[in-house]
Amino acid sequence: MIIPGFGTFSFIHKRIDIGNNRFLLFQRPVFALSEKIAQTHGLKSTRYPINGSIPVHPLNYFYIQTQSIYTRDQIEQCVKHVLQIFNRSIAAQRNVEFTFSHIGKLHIRSGKVKMRFFKDFVNAVDENAAKLVIENMCNVRDKEKKLLFYSSNYFSLSRDHKHAIQ
């Protein structure tokens, strides 16, 4: 999802070799700060290879409207206002912590940008990806399916057990 003038939320793929010319494919959530904001304010952030393999759509104001009591125009104005405050805070070289409910926190400290996704969000992404892969593996034996399932759960559980992870 892209929020113009702010950044892009997407996923990157990670491949893990499990032998016999087979791989596990994992998705990891990423946030790429808008290059314009990064350049304007001299911020340093990790660049991710967000390519066309995963579609990126603009923020859906209509959907947000259907989930709230506010009009689309009010929602757009609110987002615009929040982004203005965000830009002013960065311009004033303040440390910024921007929370996205159920997703994670964006931190900007000393000119460095870091998005920390909540463990529950990352685990949900892992579980959904593992289920889809298993369901679509028609020509793989049961033993390999189990390996894939246990491997994906292992990577979910073996991460740092803090509330937010990278």
pLDDT in tens, 77-108: 999 999 999 999 999 999 999 899 889 999 99
CA-based nearest residue to 79, from 25, 3, 18:
3
% of the chain exceeding 70 in pLDDT: 73
Cut 0.75: pTM above it: no
Q: Which domain holds residue 75?
A: 2-165
Q: Judge whether residue 159 has pLDDT over 80.
A: no
Contact 96, 89 (CB under 8 A): yes
For the chain, how many structural domains are there in total?
1
pLDDT of residue 122: 86
Rounded Cα distance between 48 and 149, Å, is 26
